[in-house]
């Protein structure tokens, strides 16, 4: 039994004394111990070495009274396992030297045996669960098929992913074939994570907001829904679509346990669009962690009051920024711990 099960209770929609709190990218560059390790090992070495990934996962847990841990990894380990050789380059970020730009390239991509190609992730889960010792839940995650496709075709990050979108409009059959292969791999990957003992899984659709509502249904959400439908009976599934407020109404009708929301929507609107029928997670603007600890505390308490303490998980509206002061991150978390109903 997990000693602190606030996060699990919130996913189930149960009544809680206060909402649980964790932060996306909480094991990240804002922590000095993470930066120290970054100086010794490159990014994917850290992801692919179970001992390092486990240690990084635990860094924020040792610092803060968080209600959940999230396994340190990256969404691009999935395309890497599919034979798409992403690198992480300084000053660029994710980089693919030969992006996928043709139907022939898509045809050659295989759905791998995840036990073999992603075994290092599952080993990291086992090591981390030992360290957590049932204190708090461990979350596993993956990128949405659309978000993975964006990187595979664009070859690197982009604000608009115009190359990826153009490929989809001009080569819809190849695009859907690639999306399906990513979906099948992701289902197998997350299923194995659940078997290894994570308490919940989250799907990050970081670039869903680049699509129109109609194209979102066609090229993103239908594949996310496949993943949710395949896994919801064996684990809670959280779906976070950045910039995808327009899809919240449809998402709320799915078998997901919770929906992440970013800071561009009010708590009231998010509740209205979802008919208060599902747990929501979010939505503090990450840049607001540059405010004073006193302001952070006030804003967090206001955010909880507006969402309501039940069916709610306190989080940021996206990942924590690398230049956030550690004490401000601590103030955000402590504000949730200290919250009392007004």
Q: Is residue 5 a known part of a binding site?
A: no
Q: CA-CA-CA-CA torsion for 149, 112, 140, 10, nearest 10 degrees?
A: 80
Look at residue 242 in the predicted model and tell me its pLDDT: 97
| Cβ neighbours of 341 (radius 10 Å) | 9
Q: Is residue 27 a known part of a binding site?
A: yes
C-alpha–C-alpha distance, residues 56 and 273, integer Å: 36
Q: CA-CA-CA-CA torsion for 209, 24, 54, 29, nearest 10 degrees?
A: 100
Flag whether 276 is in a domain: yes
Nearest alpha-carbon partner for 318 in 221, 208, 228: 208
Look at residue 260 in the predicted model and tell me its pLDDT: 98
Look at residue 58 in the predicted model and tell me its pLDDT: 98
pTM of the model: 0.97
Q: Is residue 232 a known part of a binding site?
A: no
Q: Active site residue: 7, 151, 189, 223, which one? A: 151
Question: Is residue 316 within 8 Å of residue 294, measured between CB atoms?
Answer: no
Residue 342 has pLDDT above 90, yes or no: no
Give catalytic status of residue 116 as yes or no: no
Flag whether 280 is in a domain: yes
C-alpha–C-alpha distance, residues 256 and 228, integer Å: 6
Q: Active site residue: 5, 74, 205, 262, which one? A: 74
Q: Is residue 35 a known part of a binding site?
A: no
C-alpha–C-alpha distance, residues 198 and 194, integer Å: 5
Flag whether 80 is in a domain: yes
Distances in Å between the Cα of 29 and the Cα atoms of 25, 36, 296, 328, 334 are: 8, 10, 20, 14, 20
Flag whether 45 is in a domain: yes
Mean pLDDT of the chain: 97
Look at residue 158 in the predicted model and tell me its pLDDT: 96
C-alpha–C-alpha distance, residues 102 and 254, integer Å: 33
Range of the structural domain that residue 93 is part of: 6-338
Question: Is residue 45 within 8 Å of residue 73, measured between CB atoms?
Answer: no
Report the domain count for the chain: 1
Residue 291, helix vs strand vs coil:
coil
Flag whether 181 is in a domain: yes
Percent of the chain whose predicted confidence (pLDDT) is above 70: 100
114: Cβ contacts below 8 Å, ≥ 6 apart: 81, 185, 188, 189, 192
Q: How confident is the model at residue 221 (pLDDT cuts 50, 70, 90)?
A: very high
Q: Is residue 28 a known part of a binding site?
A: yes
DSSP letters, 207-246, are TGGGS-HHHHIIIIIHHHHHHHHHHTTTS-EEEEETT-GG
Flag whether 21 is in a domain: yes
Question: Is residue 183 within 8 Å of residue 227, measured between CB atoms?
Answer: yes
CA quadruple 330, 18, 264, 318: dihedral sign: positive
Q: How confident is the model at residue 90 (pLDDT cuts 50, 70, 90)?
A: confident
Flag whether 1 is in a domain: no
Angle of helix 50-63 relative to helix 119-132, nearest 10 degrees? 30
Nearest alpha-carbon partner for 80 in 57, 53, 126, 112: 112
Q: Active site residue: 29, 63, 101, 191, which one? A: 29
Give catalytic status of residue 25 as yes or no: yes
Which residue has tokens 């970054």?
Answer: 38
Question: Is residue 331 within 8 Å of residue 297, measured between CB atoms?
Answer: yes
Give catalytic status of residue 151 as yes or no: yes
Give catalytic status of residue 288 as yes or no: no
pLDDT, tens digit, 9 for 90 and up, residues 264-322: 999 999 999 999 999 999 999 999 999 999 999 999 999 999 999 999 999 999 999 99
Look at residue 243 in the predicted model and tell me its pLDDT: 97
Q: Is residue 188 a known part of a binding site?
A: no
Give catalytic status of residue 89 as yes or no: no
C-alpha–C-alpha distance, residues 161 and 113, integer Å: 29
Q: Is residue 26 a known part of a binding site?
A: yes
Q: Output phi, psi for 94, to 5 deg.
A: -60, 135
C-alpha–C-alpha distance, residues 135 and 117, integer Å: 30
Q: What is the CATH number of the domain that holds 104?
A: 3.20.20.210
Q: Is residue 284 a known part of a binding site?
A: no
Look at residue 273 in the predicted model and tell me its pLDDT: 98
């Amino acid at each position: 039994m997990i000693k602190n099960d606030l996060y699990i209770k919130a996913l189930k929609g149960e009544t809680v004394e206060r909402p649980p709190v964790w932060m996306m990218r909480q094991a990240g560059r804002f922590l000095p111990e993470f930066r120290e390790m970054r100086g010794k090992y490159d990014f994917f070495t850290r992801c692919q070495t179970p001992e390092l990934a486990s240690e990084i996962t635990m860094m924020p847990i040792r610092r803060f009274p968080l209600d959940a841990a999230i396994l340190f990894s990256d969404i691009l380990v999935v395309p890497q396992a599919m034979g798409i050789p992403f690198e992480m380059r300084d000053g660029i970020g994710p980089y693919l030297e030969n992006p996928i730009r043709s139907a022939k390239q898509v045809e050659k991509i295989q759905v791998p045996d995840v036990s073999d190609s992603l075994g290092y992730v599952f080993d990291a889960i086992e090591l981390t669960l030992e360290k957590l010792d049932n204190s708090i839940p461990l979350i596993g995650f993956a990128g949405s098929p659309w978000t993975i496709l964006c990187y595979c075709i664009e070859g690197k990050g982009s604000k608009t992913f115009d190359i990826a979108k153009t490929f989809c409009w001009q080569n819809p059959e190849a695009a859907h074939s690639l999306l399906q292969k990513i979906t099948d791999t992701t289902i197998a990957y997350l299923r194995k994570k659940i078997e290894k003992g994570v308490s919940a899984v989250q799907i990050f659709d970081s670039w869903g907001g680049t699509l129109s509502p109609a194209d979102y249904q066609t090229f993103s959400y239908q594949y996310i829904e496949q993943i949710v439908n395949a896994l919801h009976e064996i684990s809670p599934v959280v779906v976070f679509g950045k910039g995808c407020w327009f899809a919240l109404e449809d998402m709320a009708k799915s078998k997901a346990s919770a929906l992440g929301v970013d800071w561009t929507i009010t708590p009231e609107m998010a509740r209205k669009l979802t008919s208060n029928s599902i747990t929501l997670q979010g939505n503090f603007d990450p840049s607001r962690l540059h405010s004073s600890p006193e302001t952070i505390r006030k804003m967090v308490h206001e955010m909880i009051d507006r969402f309501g303490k039940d069916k709610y998980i306190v989080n940021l509206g996206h990942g924590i920024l690398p230049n956030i002061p550690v004490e401000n991150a601590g103030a955000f978390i402590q504000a949730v711990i200290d919250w009392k109903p007004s």
